[in-house]
């Protein structure tokens, strides 16, 4: 029997450092057969970094992203630490950790307060002209202000250790290029009581919004999968360093404590002709069932604990809200705010360390031909792998970015949501809204352009098997 499939395209979904769209393939009965999140713009960093000097790489590759450049800067530097054979001195590691915590704090604040909270506060089906940051400022000015100030604090931390709030220089192979100024440290310490209080408020709000709609959230785009994260040797979450740990969908440990260079054996990548984004999977489980989730929801459930007390209490509370592993994409928001609190506490902890303002910044060692760096970026596990020739030029580069690690998980979530909300062959605003909310829960890079101004320029077309447009709906022309 030949099955006839119909195709619905949501195009453009948003800008993802470029462009993305969603296609839904329907069978004759109108059921969603498959969902595809396409990243249709070719970025090419892996190609054009080849032939460049290795010390340039942390500054160049961070241009992949305007939201989390620090993660790329740090991840590249970690990979190149291995290339220069260096173990960065304690001051450098602590300054990098401070950078990273500031980065996560500002990125998480941006996502929750500016991008996601309008969906959660106003409802997925609410008026799109109000469901945005401007609407949030009008209706909940104090909340919006806290979001702005939390983000500002994270960016100030970045500016102090990285030179600029976006696209600075900080981490270099073997270390970092500056200490934290004492007056900056003292100013941050004065702000921290507020930052921690607002972070606690954010956790409480995310918790409230999640529990208020727990039944709806539970089934919204929920698809079990394996989980992946970095974990410290003592089992606590380590966002900057540590070993790779994966758990299966039921929480059983698949592997643990594996170093960065083992990624190539653990993770394979599948290429599909309809997307420039690859599909990673755990090699041992195969491409069909080996896909996994990364990011806050995975991290809080992969680790044994958080190293900071308030955040660990919040994590336990989060875990207690479900039995077994929580796979609901909308739980990402609560988990993300627990991490925000963890970062605020971690920044305070680091600021009391004198190593930030004195001590060696760079170390050297015996030159190696390649290096792998792994870090937990705001959106999840980020992998940089470089090979360097004897002439110091890059000969090969492989990047597996966080959003790529979540690729199949996002596709599965979209399919699940589309199945739930599709109404026959009709494309409705409701379907668009829900697909949008599902994608955004993962905080892929596309969410910033998607929602910052509240108008996601969606175009949906229903196309029959012969390629004829049966109906279409467009938002964003008003």
Partner 1 sequence: MTRPTFTLDGVAISFDEGQTIIEAARKAGVFIPFLCAHPEFPAHGSCRVCTVLVNGRAMASCTTKAADGQVVESNTAALTRDRQALVQMLFVEGNHFCPGCEKSGACTLQSLGKDLAVTSAGFAHESPTRPVDASHPDILLDFNRCILCELCVRASSDVDKKDVFALSGRGLDKHLIVNAESGRLADTGMATTDKAMSVCPVGVILWKRRGFADPIGKRPHDVESPRQRVEGKGKTS
Which CB atom, from 169 or from 398, has the smaller least distance to partner 1? 169
Which CB atom, from 6 or from 63, has the smaller least distance to partner 1? 63
Residues at the contact surface with partner 1, assessed by CB under 8 A: 51-53, 55-56, 58-60, 63, 84, 162-164, 167-170, 172-173, 177-178, 362, 389, 391-393
Which CB atom, from 77 or from 438, has the smaller least distance to partner 1? 77
- Write down the least CB distance from residue 182 to partner 1, Å: 15
What is the C-alpha separation between 25 and 30, in angstroms, rounded? 9
- Write down the least CB distance from residue 163 to partner 1, Å: 3
- Write down the least CB distance from residue 62 to partner 1, Å: 9
Q: Which among 101, 42, 466, 450 is positioned nearest to 275, based on CA atoms? A: 42
Which CB atom, from 167 or from 419, has the smaller least distance to partner 1? 167
Which CB atom, from 360 or from 423, has the smaller least distance to partner 1? 360
**Exposed/middle/buried for residue 424 (C-beta within 10 Å: 0-12, 13-18, 19+):** exposed
Element (H, E) at 193: helix 182-212
Element (H, E) at 106: helix 90-109
* 462 DSSP assignment: E
- Write down the least CB distance from residue 378 to partner 1, Å: 21
Tokens (6 digits) for 53:
């000097």
* 167 DSSP assignment: S
Residues 243, 256: contact at Cβ < 8 Å? yes
The conformational region for residue 364 under phi > 0 = left, psi -120 to 50 = alpha, else beta, is beta
- Write down the least CB distance from residue 64 to partner 1, Å: 12
What is the C-alpha separation between 238 and 22, in angstroms, rounded? 34
* Burial call 174-198: b when 16+ CB within 10 Å, e when fewer: bbbbebbeeebbeebeeebeebbeb
Q: Which residues contact 65 (CB under 8 A, 6 or more apart)?
A: 17, 71, 72, 445
Which CB atom, from 170 or from 290, has the smaller least distance to partner 1? 170
- Write down the least CB distance from residue 95 to partner 1, Å: 11
What is the C-alpha separation between 218 and 250, in angstroms, rounded? 16
What is the C-alpha separation between 239 and 298, in angstroms, rounded? 12
Taking residue 28's Cβ as centre, other Cβ atoms within 10 Å add up to 11
- Write down the least CB distance from residue 135 to partner 1, Å: 34
- Write down the least CB distance from residue 58 to partner 1, Å: 8
- Write down the least CB distance from residue 393 to partner 1, Å: 5
Give the angle subtended at the CA of 207 by the CAs of 101 and 301, to the nearest 5°.
60
Q: Cis ω on the peptide bond leading into residue 66 (within 30° of 0)?
A: no
Residues 50, 397: contact at Cβ < 8 Å? yes
Which CB atom, from 30 or from 389, has the smaller least distance to partner 1? 389
Tokens (6 digits) for 129:
């002209």
Which CB atom, from 19 or from 178, has the smaller least distance to partner 1? 178
- Write down the least CB distance from residue 239 to partner 1, Å: 23
Place of tokens 């009709």: 426
């Amino acid at each position: 029997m030949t099955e006839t499939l119909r195709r619905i395209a949501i195009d453009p979904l948003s800008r993802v450092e470029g462009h993305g769209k969603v296609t839904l393939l329907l069978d004759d009965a109108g059921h969603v057969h498959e969902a595809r999140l396409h990243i249709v713009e070719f970025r090419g960093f892996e190609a054009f970094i080849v032939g460049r000097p290795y010390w340039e790489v942390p500054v160049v590759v961070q241009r992949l992203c305007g939201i989390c450049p620090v993660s790329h800067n740090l991840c590249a530097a970690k990979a190149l630490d291995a290339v220069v054979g260096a173990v960065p001195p304690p001051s450098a590691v602590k300054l990098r950790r401070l950078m990273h915590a500031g980065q996560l704090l500002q990125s998480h604040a941006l996502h929750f307060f500016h991008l996601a909270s309008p969906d959660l506060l106003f409802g997925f089906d609410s008026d799109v002209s109000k469901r945005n940051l401007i609407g949030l400022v009008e209706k909940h000015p104090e909340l919006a202000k806290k979001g702005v100030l939390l983000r500002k604090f994270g960016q100030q931390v970045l500016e102090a250790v990285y030179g600029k709030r976006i696209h600075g220089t900080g981490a270099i192979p073997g270390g970092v290029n500056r200490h934290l100024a004492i007056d900056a440290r003292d100013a941050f310490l004065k702000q921290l009581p507020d930052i921690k209080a607002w972070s606690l408020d954010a956790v409480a709000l995310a918790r409230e919004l999640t529990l208020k709609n727990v039944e709806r959230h539970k089934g919204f785009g929920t698809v079990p999968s394996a989980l992946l994260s970095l974990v410290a040797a003592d089992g606590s979450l380590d966002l900057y360093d540590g070993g790779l740990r994966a758990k299966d969908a039921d929480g059983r440990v698949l592997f643990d404590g594996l170093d960065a260079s083992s990624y190539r054996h653990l993770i394979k990548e599948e290429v599909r002709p309809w997307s420039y984004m690859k599909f990673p999977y755990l090699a041992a489980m195969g491409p069909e069932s080996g896909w996994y989730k990364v990011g806050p929801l995975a991290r809080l459930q992969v680790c044994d604990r958080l190293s900071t007390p308030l955040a660990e209490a919040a994590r336990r509370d989060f875990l207690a809200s479900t039995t077994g592993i929580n796979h609901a994409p909308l739980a990402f928001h609560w988990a993300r705010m627990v991490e925000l609190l963890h970062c605020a506490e971690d920044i305070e902890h680091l600021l009391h360390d004198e190593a930030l303002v004195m001590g060696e910044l760079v170390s050297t060692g015996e030159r190696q031909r390649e290096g792998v760096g792994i870090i937990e970026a705001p959106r999840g596990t980020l992998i940089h792998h470089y090979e360097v020739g004897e002439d110091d030029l890059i000969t090969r580069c492989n990047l597996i970015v966080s959003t790529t690690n979540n690729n199949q998980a996002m596709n599965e979530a979209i399919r699940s949501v589309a199945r739930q909300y599709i109404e026959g062959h009709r494309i409705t605003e409701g379907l668009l809204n829900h697909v949008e909310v599902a994608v955004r829960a993962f905080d892929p890079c596309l969410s910033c352009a998607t929602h910052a101004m509240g108008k996601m320029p969606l175009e949906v077309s229903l196309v029959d098997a012969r390629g004829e447009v049966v109906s279409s709906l467009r938002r964003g022309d008003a």
